[in-house]
Structure 1
């Protein structure tokens, strides 16, 4: 359920961010943009952007915190020897390591970087273009993907 809510929140965040960027661009030349954008007050778009940005990373964090414990692959333990994989990892109240929790800061950084692209760089009108041209945002997405694959397929193998 949390993952579904996270995906919905990210989709709405991207959609509202796109409208916010289009509205910002419209101020420069209103004749080149759709008339329906006039019905979106900037204050409302800012509020919705903030709301869905927060909802996106928060629902993802709840998803990550709810993930079941991963029993570490014996080959990984053998490779590491006596060193523990739990050093520096987030623990639950019961002292159990939840490895997916390590991906939450990367997701928060990605959301903040996209907000930066919307408000400072004024580039949110094309989310796919922002993703492919903004190197720090692309790096955070790649890092998140590598972490998820490593946690689920290598550690949990």
Structure 2
């Protein structure tokens, strides 16, 4: 059971928090029915993302077995058998699609289906295509955001969409940079690795991409907070007060990336760092206070 839980990667469910953004900005956190609809989308994405992790480990088991760290993953190490993995994938796929359908949430089920289709293509081919791999990761986050907004019945702001897109590109390129730095002997030592695409990147290229996307994330978030449409929707012109919190969070993550050796597992890093946790908590509190008053 511990091996199966490890295979599901529950620590990565933090990424599905993007589904909950729609609930916050729809002012619907006090509406039990609306909160339930968004919760269904969140749980569906947790099952879908775990299904993708199991699927990826299933196809990468041979390469993982030759990797110094990934060889301890449940499938690569033999703790979870291939038949068990296939059954688990089927259960998770059915659950991810069946849960929203059971409650009549067709748009949510469609978004989850698109997410699963994207990640099947990613696992089988797209993860080996330079730049395309990171854009696929960003698309997965955009689908999470779409799921939450569909469930909450709101139309996402164009600036929110742009900010989310740039932020997920930032995290994706930061992850690739951390993976390159962590490779003993450099990128050329990646023969047989599941990250073959890293041979097409360089630390210098990724430094530039990280800087561009980090700057774009802060710029688009700032424009979102001062947009007239945002002020009219949420009844406040003071969301810009959250910009320093977001700026600190991004800068802290950059510090961890370049000085702390983090970045390979964004979900784990965000949970592990106390200052980032405090920044996220502060952002949620300030947003709820501003939007709720």
Output aligned runs, 1:92-131, within 5 Å. Answer: 98-131=237-270
RMSD: 1.8
Aligned with residue 178 of structure 2, among 5, 21, 31 = 21
Q: Tell me the TM-score normalised to structure 2 length.
A: 0.42
Q: Name the structure 2 match of 1:81.
A: none
Q: 1:145, CA displacement in angstroms?
A: 0.8
Find out whether 1:57 has 2:204 as its counterpart: no
2:231 is paired with a residue of what secondary structure? coil
Aligned with residue 36 of structure 1, among 184, 194, 197 = 197
Q: Tell me the TM-score normalised to structure 1 length.
A: 0.76
CA deviation string 1:119-155 (max 9, x = no partner): 11111000001110001011101110111111101x2
Moved over 3 A (4+): 27-33, 69-72
Higher relative CO (Cα under 8 Å, sequence separation at least 6) belongs to: 1
Gaps of at least 5 residues in structure 2 are: 1-157
Q: Name the structure 2 match of 1:7.
A: 164
CA gap of 1:45–1:27, structure 2 versus 1, over 3 A, is: farther
Gaps of at least 5 residues in structure 1 are: 73-97
**1 or 2, which has the higher helix percentage?**
2
Question: Whole-Å Cα distance in 1 between the matches of residues 166 and 249 of structure 2?
Answer: 14
1:68 is paired with a residue of what secondary structure? helix
